Amino acid sequence: MTKVTIYKNVKNECVGFKALGHAGYAEEGEDIVCAAISILTINTMNAIETFTDADVSLETDEEIGFIEYRIDKPTKETSLLLDTMVLGLQTMVDDENYAEYIDLLFEEV
């Protein structure tokens, strides 16, 4: 199971996320759940880098399936991009075919 924790500040703004673990839906290289989570998270990071001036921090470990991404000062643009990622992840959680392979949590930081 992949556990994704969305970081929110006291203003309820998304300020980052952590993803940990491999989904385990299928064999490595054929796991569509893991691929979907990767696409959503990596595309969000790429979009923030491309379309905003946000200062971010990133820590990864491919072997254990770990990404931690934080935004120093959220903006309207970074919040929209992160909220879009959360929408995609929540859609997966709500789908009975994939729900047991992804856990979505929210944490105030």
Catalytic residues: 22, 34
Tokens of 27: 């064999």
- From residue 106, alpha-carbon distances to 32, 62, 97 in Å are 23, 23, 22
